[in-house]
Structure 1
Amino acid sequence: MSRQFNMDTARQNFWKEDFLREKTLRCEWHRKYGSMVKAKQKAKAAAHLPLKLPTLHPKAPLSPPRAPKAVPCRAPSPALKAPIQSEMYPVLPATRALLYEGISHDFQGRYHYLNTRKLDIPEMRYLFPITTNFTYGWQLGPPVKEELAFRKVCRTDSFFRKNGAFELLDPRDLAL
């Protein structure tokens, strides 16, 4: 296959202008969006770096404040004892002790602790609804037992066939 040499001056000028136009477009794009691309690349690279946590130094124990002698001592109320910094209520010591009894593989330890903790209603575990899903069912109270006899009779008399799904229809199954 032979090469075509139909490059005259007009064609050379066309290609020269085309390359120059593409070069200026690339430079304009880089000037306009280059900083955003670099910022995204830095953020992506920072996300892959391991998280380095600050070191915590042990705090020196504080000396207890001296109580005034003239004022009689009163027991502090539980609300004023310490501000709660968590969204959950503290776990009872008996429930916490379940963590240290046995191993989860034998349905003890953490497994038994989590199942026991799951039995509490959310109002007993959390101070307030954390997610929007908590609002459904928050403070509903105990479940109301319904009478099952009525529903059972209604279901068997009107909905299901008595002789199976693929059998011929029985006249007793038809609602007239």
Structure 2
Amino acid sequence: MMRQLNMDTVQQNFWKEEFLREKMLRCEWHRKYGSMVKAKQKAKAAARLPLHLPTLHPKTPLSPPPAPKAGPSRAPSPALEVPEQPEMYPVPPATRALLYEGISHDSQGRYRYLNTRHRDIPEMRYRFPITTSFTYGWQLGPPVKQDMVFCKMCHIESFFRKNGAFSPLDPKDLAL
């Protein structure tokens, strides 16, 4: 794409506003969903660590635990206790069963499963918007069907004039 060198102040201000708007959208998404994504990443990283089993020592008689001190105790931070949640909600069993019925060539199996999942709104499939393109249609509700209304006054039979190009205009030719 060729770079425009003859930008005036209006175009410069437009691009400046666009960059700021995108930056604000990213910051807003990070503020809203950043903690959930970080908790998920930490849980995945912890799952990848190798499992170390404790060494077993010979049994010794246990001594009673010391009495807890009455000093102020710190409550654990809620960010550490966030359970891992997947990005998507689980698929209902009836929908999952469609995968195993028939083959895609006969409009069954995977084909029917994907069409059924596609009909669900994103809020029913995902816990939060994953990408910024999700925010355009997030939580809009079901689509509203509008009936097409035709105006009989505006209906024109043809693009061309019926009386020729240089003849006076016929009132039937105008769409007002």
- Give TM-score scaled by structure 2 length: 0.45
Higher relative contact order (CA 8 A, sep 6+): 2
- Give TM-score scaled by structure 1 length: 0.45
Higher helix fraction (1 or 2): 1
